[in-house]
């Protein structure tokens, strides 16, 4: 005979007989299933009361005073770190602004003569603000880290272009006046670098633009470098970003002085380099 039987378990019961001298003794009979139901209801009720105490009453501060103090300490440390990040970002912005002013000062020092009304003097007298992105909270860091991971489709990496020379823009992008790029005021012989990796499709002399280099990049982008004095790379050469391709100069009929004229094209249309270049 098996000692465990479901039918016998259902028919089993507990007898409880309280013994109080002042009242008549009475016996209570409970089945195992009924007793189990009572215990389950009691457990649920006890958990509900405990949850209410821990979430709605001040008693939780007394029960978890140590943990709360540790959380407060960690929160203060995180706030201090965030304040330090913002302070360092502000200092880096000041350094970047100072570096920008130094570029103008170096260019002014390289000139043979300077006038008090020169635009470079005005530039040095005005502050140059360089704003850097501040990201000091954990949520935004996790959002940026996982943002691209859960995208439904893979997006192509955008093309990143760098400045071809280390110089000052003396004339901006003015398509309404026929100026389809930017001019960098630099002395003859300044190294000219590939703004991005690609294939050299043209490297030769033209009457209007002088010695010129054209590079084809991904996503149908083209960069053009005009008025050079020496061409380093030849047509059909493959270049990497930042690789030396030419030396600046004053060649071509349309050149008005030593400088580099730089253009960006995509799908047959010009783009303002100052809004596209990574500086």
Higher per-residue pLDDT: 243 or 2: 243
Predicted confidence (pLDDT) at residue 19 exceeds the cutoff of 90: no
Please give the tally of structural domains in the chain.
3
Same domain, 132 and 213: no
Residue 173's pLDDT is: 92
Question: Which of 56, 77, 98 is the C-terminal boundary of a domain?
Answer: 56
Residue 13's pLDDT is: 72
Closest CA to 133 of 182, 93, 173: 93
CATH number at residue 230: 2.70.70.10
- Quick one: what percent of the chain has pLDDT higher than 90? 32
CA 7 vs CA 12, 34, 39: distances in Å: 9, 15, 21
Predicted confidence (pLDDT) at residue 262 exceeds the cutoff of 80: yes
What one-character DSSP code corresponds to residue 248?
E
CA 132 vs CA 91, 98, 148, 186: distances in Å: 10, 14, 22, 27
Higher per-residue pLDDT: 84 or 136: 84
Question: How would residue 228 be classed by pLDDT, with cut points 50, 70 and 90?
Answer: very high
Reduce the DSSP state of residue 266 to 3 states and report it.
strand
Pick from 29-38, 107-116, 145-154 the range whose average pLDDT is largest: 29-38
Q: Which domain holds residue 51?
A: 6-56
Higher per-residue pLDDT: 192 or 30: 192
């Amino acid at each position: 005979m098996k000692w465990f039987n479901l039918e016998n378990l259902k028919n089993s019961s507990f007898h409880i007989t309280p013994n109080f001298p002042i009242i008549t003794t009475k016996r209570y009979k409970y089945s195992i299933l009924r007793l189990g139901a009572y215990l389950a209801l009691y457990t649920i009720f006890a958990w509900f009361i405990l949850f209410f105490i821990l979430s709605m009453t001040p008693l939780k501060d007394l029960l978890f005073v140590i943990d709360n103090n540790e959380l407060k300490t960690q929160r203060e440390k995180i706030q201090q770190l965030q304040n330090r990040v913002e302070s360092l970002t502000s200092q880096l912005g000041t350094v970047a602004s100072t570096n920008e002013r130094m570029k103008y000062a170096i260019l002014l020092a390289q000139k043979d003569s300077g006038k008090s009304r020169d635009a470079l003097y005005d530039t040095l007298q005005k502050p140059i603000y360089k704003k850097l992105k501040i990201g000091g909270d954990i949520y935004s860091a996790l959002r940026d880290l996982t943002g691209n991971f859960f995208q439904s489709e893979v997006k192509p990496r955008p093309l990143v272009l760098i400045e071809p020379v280390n110089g000052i823009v003396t004339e901006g992008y003015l398509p309404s006046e026929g100026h389809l790029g930017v001019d960098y005021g630099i002395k003859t012989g300044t190294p000219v670098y590939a703004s991005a990796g690609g294939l050299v499709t043209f490297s030769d002399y033209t009457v209007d633009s002088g010695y010129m280099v054209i590079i084809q990049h991904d996503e149908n982008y083209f960069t053009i470098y005009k008025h050079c004095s020496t061409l380093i790379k030849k047509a059909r050469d493959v270049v990497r970003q930042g690789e030396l391709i030419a030396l600046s100069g004053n060649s071509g009929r349309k050149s008005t002085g030593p400088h580099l004229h730089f253009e960006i094209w995509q799908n047959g249309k010009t783009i303002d380099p100052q809004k596209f270049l990574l500086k």
